[in-house]
Structure 1
Amino acid sequence: MIKAAIAALAVMAASLPGAAISEARYDILTFNDLDGWAEDDHAAALKVFNDTCPDMKDVDWRSLCALAQNSPGPREFFELFFRPVLISEGRDALFTGYFEPELNGSLRPNSRYRYPLYREPPESRAVSPWLRRQEIENSDVMKNRGLEIAWVDDPVELFFLQIQGSGRIRLTDGTMIRVGYGGSNGHEYRSIGAELVRRGIYSIHQVSAEVIKNWVRRNPEAGAELLMHNPSYVFFRKIDDLRPDRGPRGAMNRSITTGRSVAVDPKFVPLGAPVWIEKDGADPVRRLMIAQDTGSAIKGAQRADLFMGTGDAAGRAAGQLKDPGRMLVLMPIQRAYALAPDAI
Structure 2
Amino acid sequence: MTFTRPLRLAALAALVLLSACTTVEKPPVRTTSGPEFTPAAFEEARGVDTEHWRSALAAFRQSCTAIGSRPVWAGACSRAAAVDPAAAEDFFRANFTPWRVATVERDDRGDEVKRTETGLTTGYFEPLLYGSRTKQAPFVHPIYGVPDDLLIIDLAEIYPELKGKRLRGKLDGRRVVPYDTRGVIQNRTDLEPWAIAWVDDPVAAFFLQVQGSGRILLPDGSFMRVGFADQNGYRYRSIGNWLVKNSELKSHELSMQQIRAWAERNPDRVKEALAQNPSFIFFEERHGDPSLGPTGAQGVPLTAQASVAVDPSRWTLGTPFIIEVKQDRPALAFTRPVVAQDTGGAIRGLIRFDYFWGFGDEAGEAAGRQRSTTRAWVLVPNGFTPEDILPKR
Instruction: Verify same fold: TM over 0.5.
Output: yes
- Within the alignment, does 1:79 sit opposite 2:93 as a pair? yes
Q: Structure 1: any 5+ residue segments left out of the alignment?
A: 1-20
Identity level (%) = 38
Deviations 1:72-111 (A, max 9, x none): 9533332233221222334842221111111110122123
Matched, 1:253 2:299: yes
Deviation at 1:195, TM superposition (A): 2.1
- The aligned residue for residue 265 of structure 1 is 311
Distance 1:100 1:216, change over 3 A: same
Q: Which residues of 2 match residues 47-62 of structure 1 at below 5 A? A: 47-56=58-67, 58-62=70-74
* 8 Å contact kept, 1:182–1:234: yes
User: TM-score scaled to structure 1, two decimals?
Assistant: 0.85
- The answer to whether residue 207 in structure 2 is matched with residue 193 in structure 1 is no
**Structure 1 residues 1-344: aligned runs within 5 Å:** 23-37=34-48, 41-56=52-67, 58-70=70-82, 73-89=87-103, 90=116, 92-126=118-152, 128-129=167-168, 130-143=179-192, 146-240=193-287, 242-281=288-327, 282-336=331-385, 338=387
Which is higher, the Rg of structure 1 or of structure 2?
Answer: 2
* Match in the other structure for 1:4: none
- Tell me the SS of whatever aligns to 1:66: helix
- Pair 1:114–1:43, CA change in 2 (3 A): closer
Query: Aligned-pair distance for 1:44?
Result: 3.3
Question: 1:148 Cα deviation (Å)?
Answer: 1.5
Question: 1:123 and 1:228, CA in 2 relative to 1: closer, same or farther beyond 3 A?
Answer: same
Mapped contact 2:303–2:356 kept (Cα < 8 A): yes
* Residues 1:179 and 1:39: Cα distance change in structure 2 (over 3 Å): closer
Could you tell which deviates more after superposition, 38-47 or 98-107?
38-47
Distance 1:68 1:111, change over 3 A: closer
| Aligned-residue CA RMSD (Å) | 2.3
Task: Return the letter of the residue paired with 2:237.
Answer: R
8 Å contact kept, 1:40–1:286? no
Structure 2 unaligned regions, length at least 5: 1-31, 104-115, 154-166, 169-178
Residues 252-281 of structure 1: per-residue CA shift (max 9 Å, x gap): 121111111111122222211111021123
What secondary structure is seen at the aligned counterpart in 2 of 1:284? Answer: strand
Give, in angstroms, the shift of residue 22 of structure 1. 5.8
| 1:263–1:87 CA distance, 2 compared to 1 (3 A) | same
Residue 338 of structure 1 and its aligned partner are, at CA, apart by 4.6
> 1:338–1:126: structure 2 CA closer, same or farther, 3 Å change rule?
closer
Q: Is the 8 A contact 1:216 1:222 kept in 2?
A: yes
1:203 maps to amino acid = K
The answer for the alignment partner of 1:6 in structure 2 is none
Q: What is the rounded CA distance, in whole Å, between the counterparts of 2:190 and 2:73 in structure 1?
A: 45
1:70 and 1:135 mapped to 2: Cα distance? Answer: 53
- Which residue type is aligned with residue 295 of structure 1? G
Asked if the contact 1:40/1:288 (under 8 Å) is kept, the reply is no
Distance 1:334 1:200, change over 3 A: farther
- Normalising by structure 2, we get a TM-score of 0.75
Q: Would you say the 8 A contact 2:52–2:306 is kept in 1?
A: no
State whether residues 323 and 377 of structure 2, in contact with CA within 8 Å, keep that contact through their aligned partners in structure 1.
yes
Aligned mates of 1:139, 1:338 — CA distance in 2: 47
Q: Deviations over 1:122-147 (max 9, x none)?
A: 3324353322111212123413xx31
- Alpha-carbon distance in structure 1 between the residues aligned to 2:386 and 2:117: 23
| Pair 159,150 (structure 1): closer, same or farther in 2 beyond 3 Å | same
Aligned length: 317
Secondary structure of 1:177 counterpart: strand
Counterpart CA distance in 1 for 2:388 and 2:290 is 41
Segments of 4+ moved more than 6 angstroms: none
Q: Partners of 2:294 and 2:55 in 1: how far apart?
A: 18
Q: What secondary structure is seen at the aligned counterpart in 1 of 2:123?
A: strand
Select the structure that is richer in strand.
2
Name the CA distance, whole Å, in 2 between partners of 1:319 and 1:38.
24
Of 298-307 and 224-233, deviating more is 298-307
| Conserved? CA contact 2:357–2:366, under 8 Å | yes
Instruction: Letter of the 1:250 partner, please give it.
Output: G
Shift, 1:168, TM fit? 0.7
